């Protein structure tokens, strides 16, 4: 499938500089792209490749001033990275539209139902009263437990397990190996030292436009719901515990862990390997640096914390700077102590 520079410009609200009729059929990195491919330039580190690329079309910011001639046709847009992402999404959408139909073998309960233009891969399991919306792609070896509902235009990648009673909204993507609705980690200590399991009878609700990376686990609530709100983006290998709420458009990087009943606000950014204790609240717009250990609520919107235990980012950076200067400070203190002793001796004499 080919697209001309003019067609791409129309899709991205861009303007063409060069041959508007040159066509591309695939994508490439700016340093490796070949003739007939589309690439983009957004990072100044790759500026040298802009003037040497073999790509036929390059998407570029409309504010960028060229230092020399570029051999490729340019499409100028307000944000090259966003425009390129839009094109990749369109390309993926077109390719996935070709996936329609029901593969065998598989199990589908008589009460399970699905909408139009769906793809259901081989070895899938659809439990009782499962509902799948229009234009969904359910890839092989997916398990959907009883009463699971999935909205329109969702992509559920191979090996995903969604336990009973969980709800998935529209335009949700869940990547391979993720588990949605496994039991929350709840055990009651007994007098004899044993641990009695607390039944987890809630569910997980995933709202619209959420993306969940591979091998992420989201536990069902003890009572009520664990909720991932609209527009949230979760990386691979994340643990979300029971009754957690993740706010709208919040992003969480790989290997982070969120303990039970913590409420995370809107637009929060959580770095990789961050650990967050349970039963706290994180205000809108907060940023938690990678490997931070957060043990208390962040009540002020826009808070930025780092370290373990996590505390204010600016104070942490100043503390680190002072720590690096400790050897020199120690030397100066010893010199001052020696000087004070000398002055005291002279005064006594």
In angstroms, the Cα distances linking 188 to 195, 211, 239, 286 are 5, 33, 21, 33
Nearest by Cα to 242 from 190, 284, 197: 197
Q: How many CA atoms lie within 13 A of 11 on its CB side?
A: 18
Strand intervals (E) in 125-168: 125-126, 131-132, 137-138, 143-144, 149-150, 155-156, 161-162, 167-168
* CB contact at 8 A, 179 and 159: no
175 catalytic, yes or no? no
Which residues are paired to 59 by β-bridges?
40, 75
Catalytic entry in 21, 175, 242, 279: 242
In angstroms, the Cα distances linking 61 to 43, 66, 87, 89 are 10, 11, 15, 19
Nearest by Cα to 83 from 7, 28, 9, 20: 9
In angstroms, the Cα distances linking 174 to 41, 136, 138 are 29, 12, 10
* CA 96 to chain centroid: 22
Q: Which long-range contacts (CB under 8 A, 24 or more apart) does 48-57 make?
A: 55/24, 55/28, 55/30, 56/22, 56/23, 56/24, 57/5, 57/8, 57/22, 57/24
Which residues are identified as catalytic?
A: 242
């Amino acid at each position: 499938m080919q697209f001309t520079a003019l067609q791409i410009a129309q899709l991205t609200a861009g303007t063409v500089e060069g041959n508007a009729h040159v066509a591309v059929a695939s994508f490439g990195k700016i340093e490796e792209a070949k003739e007939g491919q589309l690439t983009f330039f957004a990072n100044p580190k790759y500026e040298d490749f802009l003037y040497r690329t073999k790509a036929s079309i390059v998407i570029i910011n409309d504010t960028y001033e060229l230092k020399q001639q570029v051999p490729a046709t340019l499409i100028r847009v307000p944000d090259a990275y966003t425009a390129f992402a839009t094109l990749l999404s369109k390309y993926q959408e077109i390719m996935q539209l070709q996936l329609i139909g029901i593969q065998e073998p598989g199990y589908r309960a008589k009460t399970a139902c699905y909408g139009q233009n769906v793809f259901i891969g081989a070895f899938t399991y659809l439990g009782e009263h499962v509902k799948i919306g229009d234009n969904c792609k359910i890839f092989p070896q997916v398990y959907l437990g009883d009463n699971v509902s999935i909205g329109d235009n969702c992509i559920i990648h191979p090996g995903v397990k969604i336990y009973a009673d969980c709800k998935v909204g529209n335009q949700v993507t869940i990547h391979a190996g993720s588990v949605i609705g496994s039991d929350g980690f709840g055990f009651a200590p007994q007098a004899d030292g044993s641990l009695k399991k607390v039944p987890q009878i809630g569910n997980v609700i995933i709202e619209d436009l959420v993306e969940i990376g591979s091998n992420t686990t989201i536990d069902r609530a003890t009572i009520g719901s664990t909720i991932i709100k609209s527009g949230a983006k979760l990386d691979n290998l994340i643990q979300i515990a029971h009754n957690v709420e993740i706010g709208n458009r919040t992003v969480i990087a790989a290997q982070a862990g969120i303990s039970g009943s913590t409420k995370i606000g809107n637009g929060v950014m959580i770095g990789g390997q961050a650990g967050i204790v349970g039963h706290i609240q994180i205000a809108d717009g907060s940023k938690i640096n990678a490997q931070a250990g957060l043990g208390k609520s962040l009540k002020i919107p826009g808070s930025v914390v780092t370290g373990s235990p996590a505390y204010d980012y600016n104070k942490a950076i100043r503390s680190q700077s002072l720590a690096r200067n400790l050897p020199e400070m120690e030397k100066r203190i010893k010199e001052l102590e020696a000087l004070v002793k000398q002055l005291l001796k002279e005064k006594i004499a």
